[in-house]
Structure 1
Amino acid sequence: MTPMERRHAAVEATMARYRGRPFAWGKVDCAKVAAFHLKKLGYPIRISKAGAYGSALTARRAIARLGFDGLPALIDSFGLSRIPYSRLLLGDIIMGEGHAGIDAIGIYAGNGHALGFHEDYLDQGMIGIDVRPDIAWSVL
């Protein structure tokens, strides 16, 4: 399988698992979606070591329990390379301003769009959103 085919398969698997599932801290949130996506690409992600969380506050505490000061440092620890916006490819991980005091993570879907959650549509589940991320990481 080519790298682009691997990316496509991981995006499709992630969409199949999370499409239509409403946002729920610690169950169906951007970190869980990104972790699932990265696992599909072969990364040994073990965010369960952070413990349970049910709000933005307890999510920040869970990140701290893992020894990180925020989501960017946590994602850096997976060995992904940071890339500029101009180099984004299907399936790359992006991060931008979130809500409730925690960054938002998405999966780049191409043409300036990402799969993620939007605070105005949390009950609709993961949707395609326009992005201009603050940070981006290549998955392969």
Structure 2
Amino acid sequence: MTPIEKRHQATTLTVEKYKVRAFRWGSCDCGKIAAFHARKFGWKVPKTGTYKSAIGAAKYLKSLGVETLPELLDQIGFAQIAPAAAMMGDFVSFASDDPIGGVGIVVGNGNMMAFHEAHATPVIMSMANIDRAWSILPVEIAHG
């Protein structure tokens, strides 16, 4: 399977699994979706904890030595890329009212899947306001 086919297959699986699930800290949030998605590409990511609130999620991140989800993506080892270079399946971050930050998954055509405070479930929205991006592909796959 080519990297593009893998991106499409895994991203479709992630979107299908989570698109109708309501936001709930510790069971369906940015971190849980990102961890599921990363595992589809062979990444070893920390267990996502048993928190039940924003305060619990922040404490869990602190126990891992970071304060935000973008910092956790850096710590795990995802390669940062230019936001304009983000492809289907890559991670992106954007401004969020929550101090731990917001992370989405690129679904293509300039859009990402992420949570938005106006919706109960993840939505497909424009990537117009992303500030950082990371490649989902492990370095050895991305660089051949």
Output the TM-score relative to the length of structure 1. Answer: 0.91
1:7-46 to 2 correspondences below 5 Å: 7-46=7-46
> Offset of 1:117 from its aligned partner?
0.8
Query: Where does 1:89-108 land on structure 2 (aligned, <5 Å)?
Result: 89-108=87-106
Secondary structure of residue in 2 paired with 1:34 = helix
Q: Which residue of 1 aligns with 2:59?
A: 61
| Partner AA of 1:22 in structure 2 | A
**Change in 2 beyond 3 A, CA 1:97/1:47:** farther
State the partner residue of 2:124. 128
Q: Is the 8 A contact 2:70 2:103 kept in 1?
A: no
Question: CA shift at 1:97, angstroms?
Answer: 1.2
Q: Deviations over 1:108-140 (max 9, x none)?
A: 11222101111000x2x1110112311100111
| Shift of residue 46, structure 1, vs aligned partner | 2.1
Cα RMSD after superposing both structures: 1.2
Q: Distance in 2 between matches of 1:26 and 1:108?
A: 22
Unaligned runs of 5+ in 1: none
Distance (whole Å) between structure 2 residues aligned to residue 88 and residue 104 of structure 1: 16
- 1:134 counterpart SS class: strand
CA distance in 1, matches of 2:55, 2:95: 16
User: Offset of 1:17 from its aligned partner?
Assistant: 1.2
Task: Provide the identity percentage.
Answer: 38
Q: Where does structure 2 lack aligned partners over 5 or more consecutive residues? A: 138-144
Q: Contact 2:68/2:99 (CA < 8 Å) preserved in 1?
A: no
Q: What is the aligned length?
A: 136
Q: Which runs of 4+ in 1 moved over 6 A?
A: none
Tell me, in whole angstroms, the C-alpha distance in 2 between the residues paired with 1:84 and 1:38: 19
- The letter for the 1-side match of 2:91 is I
